[in-house]
Every structure is written in structure tokens, then in C-alpha cells.
Structure 1
Amino acid sequence: MNVMINDISKDLDTTVQGVQVAITIFLLVMAALMIPGGKLTDRYGRKRCLMAGLIVYGIGALISAAAPGLGILILGNSILEGIGTALLIPPVYILATVLFTDVASRAKAFGAIMALGGIGAAAGPLIGGLISSALSWRWAFVFQALVIVVIILLTRRIEDPLPADPTRSFDTGGAILSAVGLVCLVMGILAADDNVWVMAGLLLAGALMLLWFFLWIRAKERSGVEPLLSTSLFRDVTSNLGLVTQHVQWLVLLGTSFVVSAYLQVVRGYDAIHTGAIFTAATVGLLVTSLCAERFAKRYAQRTLIMAGFAGTLGGIVVLLVLASGSESVWAMLPGLLLIGLGIGAMLTPSVNVVQSSFPEDEQSEISGLSRSVSNLGSALGTAIAGTVIVADPKVGAYMGAMIVLAVIGLGGLVAAAFLPRKTELR
């Protein structure tokens, strides 16, 4: 989506801001439904949820390909693909945690997941750019649907190591409260450039809904009824710090991706192919460090890796600002993007490892859903915050300002990582 911003906005007679809203809603739907998605794996099984998510995602891709306007694109890409992703992502992390039982092996598993995600991130913009330039952006969504068909065929070979329990209750009220609260928070950020009072109202509503959600699940626990999330998940200091680092990592990564993509296309006038090619630097960096996750986990503490990752990412943002502002060549962005990719890749796996390893097997569905929700909320906020700064004044200075904001947030992630324990204990 990022590399096709101009093509989509022109074809659907909308604006860059409109496409940014579609991207943000997609990320927001994932964040809002990831917790319920994780909980449903206990009731229906990990494989069944994975298959259902793939099917819903594929349908959304086909609807997006045929979209006559922004509204239908949001239905297909933002809503259905967001729901599909929320169903299919938690099973992946639950299976990896259950099947691998020590820090190094889990690091290898999560590193493989992140590395393959890096390959997808590298191939996605390039393939999307090529398809968009040669045919149409619509065929990029058709390609997505074809990939989904292949994954569904391969998924038939997966065996679920944990039996499904259809008798498990599902906290519908908690799911609604958590989803509405998260939606209000991100929509409040999006409203910042339009109306400060609307922004304040949405942020307040989001905070109140999440408070209500916490009181709701606590009351459920006290009455002996299983809630959507156990309040004990929020009492583990190590896990909480790990969740903060995850949130900030994805916020900075997606925020940077949106800022640089919009800058290249709107200010520099680059097409989808060139934009995707330039982003390969960040993806290569992410891929390299993700593949080294197991080796790093054996040599260094998880805390050290996360702090080093934040330091590298912040250094990349500084290099990006200095070189890009002082050079007319867009290729000056490559060193900064490479550093950002190396830094993000170095800390994604240990952050997930810290969080997942803080809880026993019977709580993996809950912590996996919470972990993915926090990460995807970071993705949504990253796009929303960066887009809000840019849209307020779409000039070169606005892009620099957005990157500085992301750097300050990244610094907060580094501070949180410094409070992590030096050694991670498995549960």
C-alpha cells in the first residue's frame, strides 16, 4: 500500500490522506481484534483459526482489487484483511512458543518468522511496484489472493499440538470494550490535524473505555468467570517492559515506512518501483539481523540486544535526517534505512522472546493476543502520528519533523529497555 499511494489516490479520486486512513484502519483493526483472535485459538484451535484468517484475508484482497472507491477499498483491505490477519497471526506465535522450549530455540523460531517477514517486506514493495507500474495496483491485490491460496494448501500439513476446547467461554463484552477503546485512541490521533476538541474527546473516550475494560475483566475474575484477559498478565514487570519495547519498535518502523514512502512519492515524485527499491535497504538490514537471532541469543542477554537495536535505529534516523537533508540524491537515504533495518531486526525477536517466555503454556493464547495487539497498535499509531504531522504541512520540513517525533518516541523505547532484567527466565 505504501508504494502505491499515488496510484491508488489518483485512480480512486481520493487523497494521500485518504489512503493513509485506509492503511491506518487496517493496522487498527488488527490491533483491536488481536486479543480476541488469540483467545479464540483456545476454543476453536490454532490451525482452524489460521485457516479462517487466511480465507477472510483472501476475500478481502479480491474485494480490494475490484474497489470502485475508497469506501470499498477500506472494506476489503482495511476491514476484512485486518480481521483475517488478527485471526491468523496469534496461532503462529503460540505454535512457535509451545514447540520451542528454551531461549535459544525460541529465538531461532521467532528469528525465522521475522526473517521470512523481512523477505515478504522486501518482496512486497518491489512486486507491488512492478505490478502497479506494468498493469495496475488492483492486480497487486489479486496477487495477494493467489499467495493466500498457496498458503492454505500448505497449511493442510500443519498439526495442532494443543487440543481445541469448544466448551471454553468467550468474553464478548470484554472484546467489545477493548476494541472500542483502541479504536478511539487511534482515531483521536488521526483527528489531531482537523479538530483539537474532537481529538481530545476521542482520546478521553478511548482511555475511559480501556479503564472500563480493565474493571470489567477484574470483575469477571472475582466472580469466577473466565475474562478475555487475565489481570495477572499486567502484573509481570518484565513482560510489561517487553510490551512497551514491542509497541515502540513497530511504531517507529511503520511510522518511518510511511514518512519515507510519502516523501519519496509526493515530494521527490518517485514511482512505486523506485520507492520499493529504496526501501530494500531497510528490509535487507532487518533480514540480516533476524537471521542471526539464535546466534545473538546464545551470546548476549535479551536486554542487551533490545538496547543495541534501539541505539542502531536511532542512529539510522539521525543519518537519514543528516544525509537526506544535505543531498539532492535520494540514494543518500540508503545508509540510514539500512541502519534502521539492522536495529529493528536485532530487537524484534528478543522483545517477543521476553514477553512470550514470561508466561506458562496455558496462558500463551492470552499473552500472544495481547502481544500482537500491542505491536499492531504501535503500527497503527506510527502511521497515524507520522501522517498527522505530514498532512498538517506537506512540505519537506514536515517530513523532517515527523522523523524527529519518531526519534523521540524511539528514545523512550530505549529507556524502557534499560529497565529490563539482564537475564530472561523461562516459565
Structure 2
Amino acid sequence: MSSVESREQNPTKGGTAPSNTTPQPDPRRWRALTMLALVQFIVFLDATIVNVALPSIQHDLHFSPTGLTWVVNGYLLAAGGLLLLGGRLADIFGRRRIFMLGASLFAVSSLTAALSTNQEVLIASRFAQGIAEALAAPAALSLVALMFSDNAERNKAFGIWGGLAGLGSAAGVVLSGVLTDIASWRWVFYVTIPLAVIPLLFTRKLIDESKMDGAKRPDWVSAILATVSMVAIIQGILSLGSKPFGSVDVLLPLVGGIAVLGIFIGIQAKSANPLLPLGFLKHKTRITGSISMTFLNSTTAAMFFLLVLYMQDVLHYTPLQNGLAWLPFCVAFMAGLQFSMKLLPKVGARGALATGLLIAGIGVLPLAFIPVDGSFWINLVPAMVIIAVGGGMAFPAIQTAALSDVSMQDAGLGSGILTTLGQLGQALGLATLVAIAINHTSDLVSTGTSAVDAAVGGYKLAFVITGILLVIGAAVTYALLPKHQPQPQAA
């Protein structure tokens, strides 16, 4: 039982509550969830909304191909490097306070990105957006975990949360194509500003402040080590997209980051006030849930990116057509989400998560047979629908597992670990799977294959590996998560 549940069953102020009385939940909790999930939606929206707009950004601001990668990588580095720290800061200084700070920074940095007149301002704005995610996302998710103590309500809340997260990823591709084609690439940043401002207007009225008991100032040496290690590891992973594994650009940050991470863990083991209590990592269900996010994010990030390239470079879709092509994915994702919320109480996180990953893996494999002259309705829609249903089933189950048994002391930490591994997975998937596709394309061209046939051959190989990884993720999840034990629901 979490400390929140224990506290809710304590005697109420002014007298002793009868033993058969269940405290009434906060009547504001569902409206609060709406505000928190709105920021989660724009975080995932922002992760994909720039993809289709990148060529327009490159043309208008005169980016070199290398410089253009920082529009994406700057965001990933800042968010991935600071998410763990952001979650712990929320526990210590107050989750509502850190959430509002992150949402405010997101609104401001989105405005500066939209108004950018040169490369430096845009890249700096993308770094700031990543920092904003590192503050807002774990704080918001920890607030959701603590507001809903009833199992059935928590599953539903995580379903809504996960649904808006996954829908944000798909909607980012849709809006990116529509806005770039109809208006300008600047609108992919303008559109997120009101979505960040609205929660700021209502959060204080709907959410009480919460933080860990006996909070002490964080160990800033540990905070710096954690950030440096994550930034270095992610930079090494991102370098895999353009450099061979044995190169200095890859090995130096990877080895250095892992070494710094080892020093960080050693300090945590001896510290009286650890930034990351190592006992938290011994919870098998939570850690397995967080690792599952790595499997899902790494594969879906690569799938989004490669399918956008296939539709735009091979099938010659306009940005508008490319964006609208993802609407069936959005609809199917919501269906998978609804099914997951009904399935979770019956089979638990283990059954719903393993099933969702397996379905998504099966859905990816047909993409290994896409032809050069592929049909949208025959070659793409069936696969996209199956992948979306599986992803919709997996998202709520991941959060249910990753945040099981969290308390007032560690809800932000659990959220930070989950979101950090999600960012690591996204960076790893984009770097390795896209690099595999590019390298295989080059090999095919060197043997005399036409450029377009070689490009499709590279995509197909990457899709095969993506499907296999999802199936492996399903098997690992099923093996490690405990069997579901039905529990009586609270009144």
C-alpha cells in the first residue's frame, strides 16, 4: 500500500473516522488530470511535430544538413539529460511548482522558436523546450499517480494520460504536414503555446501542492553527475546515426557517460541523502515497466520517421498528404487505448503490456514488404492500424507498471526514471534503426540497385528489426512482470 493510501485511511482532523468510512477523493481530480495531460500531449506532440517541417526550416534559416540535426537532437539531449533530475526536484521542491515552471518555460521557448530568425535562436529554443519537458513531464505524471489511489480510477487516468501521449506523437506528424503546407513551419511552434498556457491558468485552483516528507536540498554534485552522464550517453547514441560504432565520436561520449554514471551510482550507495535511492531500483514491476517504455519508444520513433520518409520521398506525398495519412493511426490508437482500459483490471499490466507490444510487433512486420509503388490503403493502412492498436494497449499498462506502489516520497523519481528511459529509447531507435536503413541503402546502391529501390530496401530491413524488437519486448515483459492478482476495488 502506498503512503498516500495509508494517509487517506488515517483519522481525520477533529476526531477519529469510523473504521467503515472511506475518505472521499478530491472532486477536482478529473479536471486536474485534464490540465496535466494537456501538457503531456504537447510534450509528445513537440517530439514529432518538427519532422515534416525540417526541409522548410532548413530552406528558410539556411541550415546545413549537420546543423539541422540539432533542431531534433538539441531537444532530445536536454530532455533526456535532465528528466531524472527534474523528477527528483519535483519531489523535493513541490510537484505543482516544478510543473508550472516547466509549462511556463515551454510556452516561452515555443514562442522564441516560432519567431526565430537564425539558426542559433531556434536551436537554443529547442534546448529550452527539452529542459521544459524535463521539468513538467515527470512532475505532472507523479501528480496523476498520487491523485488516483483507487486501482480502477488509476487505470482509467493512466489510460487517458497514455492516450494523449501516444495521440500527441501521431498528431505531431499530422499537424506538421498540415501546418507546413497551409501556413508555415513557424506554426508548428505557435500551435503549442496556448496548449502550455491553458494549464497555467487553472493549475493552482485544481491541484494542491505536494512534496516528499522531510525534503532536503538535493546533492548538487550528484545532480551534475546524473545530468552529465545522461547527456553524454544520449550524445553517443545520437552519433551512431552518422558515425560507425568504433569511432571516437561514438565511443568517447558513451564510455565517458557510462563511467560518470558508475561514479554517480557509487555516490548514491553511500549518501545519506541520495538523489536516486538505489532501493527504488529493486522494485521489479516498476523497473520492468520503465524498460518496456524503451522498447516501445525506440521502435515507434524509428517507425514514424521511416514511414514519413517513405511517403514523402518514395510515394511523393506532399506535406499535407503525409500529415493526413496518419489519421487512421490516430483513430486506431484510441481504440487500442479503450480496449486497454477494459483489459487492465482483468489481466493486469503484465497481460495488457505484453499483448500490446506483441500486436504492435506483428503490425510492423507487413511493412517489410512495402513496394516502391506502394498503395496507401493496401500496404500502409492495415499495418498502421495494427501498430496503433498495440501501442494504445501498451501505453497505459506501461505507466501502471512503472508507477506501481509509488508514494509521496518517490512519485517524481519514478516518473523521472520512466520518462528518461523513454527519451533514451527514442534517441536509440532514431540513431540505430535509421542508420541501419541508410547503411543498407548505401550497400544496395553500390551493387547497382537504383536509388529508390535501395531506399525502400533500407526501410524494409529496419522494419524487420523493429518488429523483432517489439516481439522480444513482449516476451521480456511477460517473463519479468508478476502475474495479475485481482484485488477488491475501493468504494
TM, length-normalised to structure 2? 0.79
More displaced, 381-390 or 242-251?
A: 381-390
Distance 1:204 1:34 in 2: 21
Q: Secondary structure at the match of 2:410?
A: helix
Structure 1 residue 213 corresponds to structure 2 residue 259? no
Aligned to 1:72: 121
Residues 309-388 of structure 1 aligned to structure 2 (within 5 Å)? 309-322=356-369, 324-325=370-371, 327-331=373-377, 332-388=379-435
In structure 2, which of residues 324, 337, 346 is the aligned counterpart of residue 299 of structure 1? Answer: 346
Distance 1:56 1:408 in 2: 39
Deviation at 1:44, TM superposition (A): 2.5
Residues 27-42 of structure 1 aligned to structure 2 (within 5 Å)? 27-42=76-91
Which has the larger Rg?
Answer: 2
Q: What amino acid sits opposite 1:423 in the alignment?
A: H
Distance 1:43 1:321 in 2: 48
C-alpha contact (below 8 Å) 1:47/1:158 kept by paired residues: no
Residues 169-188 of structure 1 aligned to structure 2 (within 5 Å)? 169-188=217-236
Distance 1:206 1:258 in 2: 27
Aligned to 1:190: 238
Q: What amino acid sits opposite 1:54 in the alignment?
A: A
Aligned to 2:151: 103
Q: What amino acid sits opposite 1:112 in the alignment?
A: I
C-alpha contact (below 8 Å) 1:44/1:166 kept by paired residues: no
C-alpha contact (below 8 Å) 1:2/1:262 kept by paired residues: no
Distance 2:354 2:372 in 1: 29
Gaps of at least 5 residues in structure 1 are: none
Gaps of at least 5 residues in structure 2 are: 1-49, 443-454
Number of residue equivalences: 420
Deviation at 1:163, TM superposition (A): 5.0
More displaced, 290-299 or 132-141?
A: 290-299
Distance 2:188 2:58 in 1: 15
Deviation at 1:215, TM superposition (A): 0.8
Q: Secondary structure at the match of 1:389?
A: helix
Aligned to 2:482: 421
Deviation at 1:385, TM superposition (A): 2.1
Aligned to 2:470: 410
Distance 2:357 2:55 in 1: 31
More displaced, 204-213 or 121-130?
A: 121-130
Aligned to 1:144: 192
Cα gap change, 1:121 to 1:39, in 2 (>3 Å): same
C-alpha contact (below 8 Å) 1:45/1:165 kept by paired residues: no
Aligned to 2:14: none
Distance 1:110 1:231 in 2: 26
Structure 1 residue 61 corresponds to structure 2 residue 127? no
Identity of aligned residues (%): 25
Structure 1 residue 46 corresponds to structure 2 residue 106? no
Kindly indicate whether structure 1 or structure 2 has the higher relative contact order, using CA contacts under 8 Å at least 6 residues apart: 1
Deviation at 1:142, TM superposition (A): 1.7
Distance 1:352 1:157 in 2: 26
Distance 1:164 1:178 in 2: 20
Deviation at 1:102, TM superposition (A): 3.5
Deviation at 1:319, TM superposition (A): 1.7
Deviation at 1:366, TM superposition (A): 1.4
Higher helix share: 1
C-alpha contact (below 8 Å) 1:31/1:377 kept by paired residues: yes
C-alpha contact (below 8 Å) 1:243/1:371 kept by paired residues: yes
TM, length-normalised to structure 1? 0.90
C-alpha contact (below 8 Å) 1:5/1:262 kept by paired residues: no
Cα gap change, 1:94 to 1:174, in 2 (>3 Å): same
Distance 1:260 1:120 in 2: 17
Cα gap change, 1:243 to 1:122, in 2 (>3 Å): closer
